[in-house]
Amino acid sequence: MLNSADTPLRAALRHVALFANLSDAELDLVAARVREKRIERGAFFFHQGEPAENFHILKSGQVRIFQTTPEGTQVLMHFIQSGQMFGAIAAFGVKEYPASAQGDEPSSAWVWNANTMRELVAEIPALALNALEHTAQIIQQLQERVRELQTERVERRVARALLRLARQSGKRIAEGVLIDHPLSRQDLAEMTGTNLYSVSRILSAWEKQGLVSSGRERIILCVPHKLVILAEDLVPPPNK
């Protein structure tokens, strides 16, 4: 189904969402300026506060994007999966990375210099449109998160976070849907604006009800359908 004359690199980039609808010539422009960077598990592609020099797309592995507050508490913004861009906000305007990007596993990424990426965007209309589309989606997700933080209780926020993770990296297994990467109580807390104790209590309660099955850095949603009800239930007063 591929152009048989594709170079391996061009073929790989062709499947990245950001480069959808680019012509072969345009893909070559993009490919000509890319370089690759690998990091070990736990290492960083960049740190919060560093000058934002690069634009990244994850090639393999998994990366977490988080901010650290002056007080030292962390806020987990995103998990980046293969094919997704990161460090993009910084490349398009801001001068410093507003967050850090750390490998959850050994990871590799395609990297472009920020100025180079801006030139490419200016040269390739389809790339500009794709980039705008993706940033628009990020904005929508962030607005959703603000809305949740402002209006919803902790239990519901945790339910939503798990459902989102299941959609992103869920894996069907016998017992239900496994969140297919290490995920601690602390991680979930940093995603939902609470602490590991509250997350632990909530998961324990759900486990008693058979909704989930969880272990060390491992969570299985057994009855996702009931979590959806928890996350979105509008029935006003539970009449117990």
Partner DNA sequence: CGCGCTCTTGAGAGCGTTCAACTTGCGTGG
Partner DNA sequence: CCACGCAAGTTGAACGCTCTCAAGAGCGCG
Cβ distance 162 to 227 under 8 Å?
A: yes
Spell out, one character per residue from 165 to 184, where the chain touches DNA: x when CB under 7 A holds, - when not.
-------------------x
Pick the binder of DNA from 36, 146, 197, 210 (CB under 7 A): 197
What are 103's strand-pairing partners?
Answer: 63
Pick the binder of DNA from 154, 223, 228, 229 (CB under 7 A): 154
Cβ distance 211 to 223 under 8 Å?
A: yes
Rounded-to-integer distance, Cα 105 and Cα 148, Å = 29
| Tokens matching residue 89 | 């906000």
Residue 95 CB contacts under 8 Å (≥ 6 apart), including other chains: 51, 52
Rounded-to-integer distance, Cα 215 and Cα 185, Å = 10
Rounded-to-integer distance, Cα 228 and Cα 223, Å = 9
Question: Does 4 sit near a copy of itself (CB under 8 A)?
Answer: no
Pick the binder of a copy of itself from 16, 18, 63, 121 (CB under 8 A): 121
| Tokens matching residue 111 | 């990297």
Select the span of 12-20, 45-53, 117-125, 214-222 touching DNA (CB under 7 A): 214-222
Spell out, one character per residue from 44 to 63, where the chain touches DNA: x when CB under 7 A holds, - when not.
--------------------
User: Strand order of the sheet with strand 218-221?
Assistant: 170-173, 176-179, 218-221, 212-215
Pick the binder of DNA from 83, 98, 106, 193 (CB under 7 A): 193
Among a copy of itself, DNA, none, partner that 227 touches (CB below 5 to 8 angstroms by kind): none
| Tokens matching residue 167 | 């959609």
Residue with smaller CB distance to a copy of itself, 32 or 128: 128
Question: Does 183 sit near a copy of itself (CB under 8 A)?
Answer: no
Residue with smaller CB distance to a copy of itself, 3 or 143: 143
Among a copy of itself, DNA, none, partner that 138 touches (CB below 5 to 8 angstroms by kind): a copy of itself
Dihedral sign computed on CA atoms, order 5, 117, 102, 156:
negative
The residues binding a copy of itself (CB under 8 A) are 67, 69-71, 73, 75, 77, 88-90, 92-94, 98-99, 118, 121-123, 125-126, 128-129, 131-140, 142-147, 149-151, 190, 192-193, 232, 234
